[in-house]
Amino acid sequence: MEANQAVQTNAVSVKTKTKASFYQIVWRWHFYAGLFAAPFLIVLAISGGVYLFKPQIESMLYKDLYYVEQASDAQEATALAPSALIHFVQQMHPDGQINSIMFYDDRTRTVEIGMTENDIASSVFINPYSGEVLGSLVSGERFTDIFVKMHSELIIGGTVANYLVELAACWTVILLLTGLYMWWPRNRASIWGTVLPRFRQKGKVFWRDMHAVPAFWLSLFILILVLTGLPWSAVTGKQISSLATSTNTGYPPYALGHGAKPESTLKTKDVAKGGPWATENLPVPVSMASSYVPLTINEAVTIAEGAKVEKPYRVMMPKSEKGVYTVTTSHTVPGGEATLHLDQYSGAILSDVRYADYGLMGKAITVGIALHEGRLFGLANQLLGLITCLGVIGIVISSFVMWRKRKPQAKLGSPTPSKDKNRTRVVFVLMLVMGILMPLVGISIIVVFVLDRFVLSRIQPVKAWLHGA
């Protein structure tokens, strides 16, 4: 009986000790992860928060280019032939090569013609009823393009920046998991300090609640934003797409307009020069008595409409004699996606892939991207995204305040390491498991570990500053 009691007491104290040391270890991970991820999270939240409202912002900024002047006329008027629109643009830009033409589902929208002139890609906007060219925008220089670049490559651009964004995003997952662990009510379940902040408290408790409570509420949304953003990433994104391909659950062949394309069937020797792919719009005389002639853009559009492709869609011109007309839709809400490749000589539909043809993962990624960009369910989706972005900024600020309050003058102010070697190892192994799932995290853990173990630890002042002990 007595022995039993002793065991019980012992068990309780071990349990408490376990909690404390695990908390200590997890806190340290959370601290270093946060220190790294915080600046990126701020940049991602600000740029993402702006980019969410791209449709509204651009409609306002580029109103004169995007919309025809007499909106009422647009209801009555009949659009000119696509070839006529291209002809007008070509007249204004004789050296420009027309690459694509985009039709919107809004009758008051202008038609957007993609063009390359002197190696500069731009969009020319033309009133489809009058043929008046309203102006052009250089690709990648629209207002929201800056925010996309900030969001995906931190403006500096390149692979390194792209990797850094991915690394920060993956570490955010770890921040969420470790944060939720620390948020979990330890002593007694109370709504104060868990689901509601203790406003009356001051100092550390107040700021802790200002950090942990909103973070708890937003954790699911932040996780969703990170996960739906990963298909874009260089390392994890590639893994996701190879997983989708290997399980045959991704996109069918030729599903994406910018990917591989089938070829038009004709041998080039049978073809008249001067197709839509040629730099000159004007056919060159041919010596052959009879030769195949590429279909016009008008015929390509008629075929696309006949195949029940709904606006908004873009038709890309064949790029060579063996090229195809490629039709891609750009619906805001997933479901209406279509990518068609048309033989430029016969008009045969060489490939027609719709949303319904996508595999399970292809569909999931498509919906995920729409959700990430705030397109899935209109304004509510945009607002949810915005709240999450603002929340992330707030969470970073409150964490910064907490850190400054705790931080000693001469040290980094990191939580003291646990003396429990075993539990430290358990958490380390768990982190390595995460590192396998998110390779960049794994690599960064190993790099930091090696650096810390073999370099930084040997420099006493650095060690003292960094580790706080």
Partner 1 sequence: MIKKVAVSIMLAFVLISSAACTASTDTQKKQHVSSQLYAEIITPESIALKQDTVLQVRLTDHNEPVTKADLVQFEIWDAKKGQGQEGSQMIPAQHDKDGLYTVTTTFDQNGVYFVQTHVSVGEQHVMPKKQLIVGEVSAEELKAVQEEMLKHEQGAFEGHGGHHH
- Contact footprint for partner 1 (CB under 8 A): 18-19, 22-23, 26, 78-84, 87, 130-132, 173, 177, 180-181, 184, 186, 243, 247-249, 252, 265, 272, 274, 281-283, 285-286, 289-293, 295-296, 298-299, 301, 303, 306, 343, 345-354, 356-357, 359-361, 430, 433-434, 437
* Residue 447 C-beta: closest distance to partner 1, Å: 22
| Shortest distance in whole angstroms from residue 307 CB to partner 1 | 8
Q: Which C-beta is closer to partner 1: that of 39 or that of 253?
A: 253
DSSP state of 282: S
C-beta of 10 vs 247, nearer to partner 1: 247
The rounded distance, in Å, linking the Cα atoms of 207 and 215 is 12
Q: In whole angstroms, what separates CA 138 from the centre of its chain?
A: 22
Cα 229 to Cα 215: distance, rounded to the nearest angstrom: 19
* Closer CB to partner 1, 150 or 255, in the complex: 255
Q: Return the number of the residue (1 or 433) whose C-beta is nearest partner 1.
A: 433
Shortest Cβ 449–partner 1 spacing (Å): 19
* Tokens at 415, concatenated: 């939580």
Min dist. Cβ of residue 302 to partner 1 (A): 8
How near is the Cβ of 199 to partner 1 at its closest, in Å? 27
Task: Please check whether residue 129 is in contact with residue 139, taking contact to mean a CB–CB distance below 8 angstroms.
Answer: no
Burial class (CB in 10 A: 0-12, 13-18, 19+), 249: middle
The answer to whether residues 310 and 351 touch, using CB atoms and an 8 Å cutoff, is: no
How far is residue 415's CA from residue 467's CA, in Å, rounded to a whole number? 8
> Whole-number minimum distance, CB 220 to partner 1, in Å?
13
Taking the least distance from each CB to partner 1, the nearer of 286 and 450 is 286
Nearer to partner 1, 146 or 348 (CB): 348
Minimum Å distance from CB 21 to partner 1? 10
**Alpha helices per DSSP H over 62-157:** 63-66, 71-76, 82-92, 143-153
Reference 125, options 148, 147, 142, 146; nearest CA is 142
Distance (Å) of CA 406 to CA 11, 156, 403, 439: 33, 34, 5, 33
Contact 315, 326 (CB under 8 A): yes
What is the Rg, in whole angstroms, of the alpha carbon atoms belonging to the chain?
A: 29
The conformation of residue 319, written as its DSSP 8-state character, comes to -
Residue nearer to partner 1 on the CB measure, 20 or 401: 20
> 150 vs 353, which CB is nearer to partner 1?
353
Give me the torsion for CA of 264, 268, 271, 276, rounded to 10°: 60
Minimum CB separation of residue 68 from partner 1 in Å reads 13
CB 354, min distance to partner 1, A = 7
Q: Between helices 158-183 and 235-246, what is the axis angle to 10°?
A: 80
Q: Which is nearer to partner 1, 353 or 396 (CB)?
A: 353
Beta strands 120-126 and 324-329, pairing class? unpaired
